[in-house]
Amino acid sequence: MNKRPFLVAAAVLGAVFVFFLALVVTVVNWLGHSTPFPLGQKVGVIEITGVIASSRLTNERIIRFKEDNAVKAVVLRIDSPGGGVGPSQEIYREVQKLAAVKPVVVSMGAVAASGGYYVAAPGQRIFANPGTITGSIGVIMEFTNVQELLGKIGLSNEVVKSGQHKDIGSPVRPMSEQDRKILQAMIDDVHLQFISAVAEGRKMDLEAVRPLADGRIFTGRQAMAAGLVDETGNLQDAIDSAAKLGGIAGKPQVVYPPAEKYEFFDYFVEESISHLRRGLNEKSGGGMQFLWAE
């Protein structure tokens, strides 16, 4: 039996497969996306921008790069004034887990304050521009009382509650001293969590962080002098540092997470919700925030 036709067919199929594999890799690399194939040594860049209202998308990207063997180091590019306590802490935890297995370098853009700094703290190296706004280590809750306004237009509010403090922070009654003490205790506890996270991430003594954690903001240069930042530099400086920490020789491939199909729509919805929440917080009180109120 003549096996030559089968060999020719196998060779053609193999050549087609190699061609399409090379085409896929070329297109993916051109788009800056990571692939499931460990082709080359890469630095992954994850961008955290705007108010931190959700951790889902950022954490999915962190986990993706953590599990990608071709990504040898990760750069977090942060341009955020912070946001919710819960989402910031969830991202912080995933950054911690990532930093336990791969080098994580932080690049701060125009602003990386409050929750934006919180998520940066576990990074092995933190870069900031000399004029980056950072710091704002603190926690805030805001309440607005509209009781007098309602009285002027003839409206009153009736509340049936199961306990004395069930309507704590209500915008239609004065805040009692007991309410204030309860809320202040919560703020103080979460503030200590923030200070502890910074002390652990920056390998600083807790008492050395306390004087820096009164909510003040720093420039990047001031933050470096205070020990909150390692170097002044831009995104490319951070990428070069990450490549070196990841053991990459020469110029690294820089990859970004693949765009989700409805990422713009999700971003629009999340930003709209974030602005709505922020507006409601300013008007009637709301959850605790790691947020620099610019």
Q: 114 an active-site residue?
A: yes
The CA-atom distances, in angstroms, between 171 and each of 132, 140, 285, 293 are 36, 17, 7, 21
Catalytic residue among 54, 55, 80, 114: 114
What is the C-alpha separation between 44 and 68, in angstroms, rounded?
A: 10
Measured N-to-C along each axis, helices 85-99 and 56-67 cross at an angle, to the nearest 10 degrees, of: 0
What is the C-alpha separation between 243 and 32, in angstroms, rounded?
A: 16
Catalytic residue among 97, 166, 181, 251: 166
The answer to whether 127 touches 238, Cβ cutoff 8 Å, is yes
What is the C-alpha separation between 257 and 261, in angstroms, rounded?
A: 12
Encoding tokens for residue 226?
């205070």
Dihedrals φ, ψ of 88, to 5°?
Answer: -65, -45
Q: 241 an active-site residue?
A: no
Active site residues: 114, 166
